[in-house]
Amino acid sequence: MQKRVYEKGELNKLFVVKKPMFISSNFYLNKFKRAYKNKKAGFSGTLDPFAKGCLIVAFGQYAKLFKYLEKTPKVYKAVIWLGVSSDSFDIERINSIGFEKELNIDFVKKEIEKLKGNIEYIPPKFSAKRVNGQKAYEIAREGLDFELESSIMQIFDIKFIRYNHPFISFEVKVSEGSYIRSLAQIFLRNIGSIGTLSYLERVCEGKFRFENHKELNPMDFIDLPKNNYTGTKEWLEFGRRISKDYLDIKDNGKYIIEVDSFFSIIEIIDNEVKYLLNKVPKIEVKND
């Protein structure tokens, strides 16, 4: 008789894992699906295969919460390898390894400092950006020509760590959707050098940090105000239409309504109250 790998019962769980280098985010997620014997899981913010670090994982209904979680700013540690040319702007697809002249360390520090602020950039072709419904890296691996639209990333802070030629290390705090590989290429163009990322680690996403797979309470991370509901609990439980007259805050916007065993996310639009997520179970998080 074949052993069942996955259980049928619902598991609601939120935690942070630390993805190792040189495996995909999906491959690493499957490890935890098997460990918890549950298929219904997802992650937020894909990490490139060559990158390591913080990956938020959610099981069950908690996987629906990703767009409401406070995941910014994101902090990365990175290393640029001068003299290396790569199609993917990292060490996975190196074309050539050359030699760049050693730079003045004060010059490097000043040029890194100049990267603060809003920067327009083109995402890497080897990325999960969508092009006509297809992931860009899939098209790039087929050798097809295509263009990606420019985007804006916000650099909240960036710090020089060290320069040990030909390697430049830095730490950067950025907005969601930023590509550190693209940021590195902008820096390299500014200093007139060729290079690629040889190391990338995501340290955190907002308040999310790796703490040995510690189970997290999603209510601590949802970036929405709470609204007090004074009506009948059963109306929420069965997803019946509720009136904003039974809410303390009646202004248009998105809110959390919390009751004994579950919470709901609603949106008020004029006189209508719309469920965005309903009856998401609360759990008692125990971490000894």
Query: Residue 7 above 80 pLDDT?
Result: no
Q: Cis link prior to 49 (omega < 30° from 0)?
A: no
Q: How many C-beta atoms surround the C-beta of residue 248 within 10 A?
A: 11
pLDDT for res 4: 52
Region 122-148: what's the mean pLDDT?
72
Query: Residue 39 above 50 pLDDT?
Result: yes
Cα–Cα nearest to 218, from 63, 19, 2: 63
Query: Residue 125 above 50 pLDDT?
Result: yes
Is residue 167 within 8 Å of 83, Cβ to Cβ? no
How far apart (Å, rounded) are the C-alpha atoms in residues 183 and 194? 13
pLDDT for res 136: 67
Q: Pick the range with the lowest mean pLDDT from 130-144, 161-175, 260-274.
A: 130-144
- Confidence category of residue 40, pLDDT binned at 50, 70, 90: very high
Q: How is residue 142 written in tokens?
A: 């087929």
Query: Residue 3 above 70 pLDDT?
Result: no
Q: Read off φ and ψ for residue 182, nearest 5 degrees.
A: -70, -40
Q: Pick the range with the lowest mean pLDDT from 80-89, 116-125, 180-189.
A: 116-125
User: Catalytic: 48?
Assistant: yes
* Dihedral angle sign, alpha carbons of residues 27, 154, 267, 261: positive
Catalytic pick among 48, 157, 248, 288: 48
Query: Residue 10 above 90 pLDDT?
Result: no
Percentage of the chain modeled with pLDDT above 70? 91
Query: Residue 178 above 70 pLDDT?
Result: yes
* Dihedral angle sign, alpha carbons of residues 32, 37, 38, 39: positive
pLDDT in tens, 215-228: 999 999 998 999 99
Q: How is residue 129 written in tokens?
A: 């950006």
Query: Residue 145 above 80 pLDDT?
Result: no
pLDDT in tens, 51-63: 999 999 999 999 9
Query: Residue 288 above 60 pLDDT?
Result: no
Query: Residue 142 above 90 pLDDT?
Result: no
Q: Which residue has the higher pLDDT, 108 or 126?
A: 108
Letter for the amino acid at 114? K
**Relative orientation angle of helices 105-113 and 180-191, to the nearest 10 degrees:** 130
Average pLDDT of the chain, as a whole number: 91
Residue at token pair 């894992």: 17
pLDDT for res 152: 94
Cα–Cα nearest to 221, from 30, 6, 67: 67
b (16+ CB within 10 A) / e for 260-270: eebbbbbebee
How far apart (Å, rounded) are the C-alpha atoms in residues 17 and 29? 9
Region 197-219: what's the mean pLDDT?
96
pLDDT for res 122: 84
Q: How far is CA 71 from CA 45, 65, 75, 223, in A?
A: 9, 11, 10, 9
pLDDT for res 287: 54
**Which residues, at least 6 apart from 101, have a Cβ–Cβ distance to it below 8 Å?**
none
pLDDT in tens, 81-107: 999 999 889 998 899 999 999 999 999
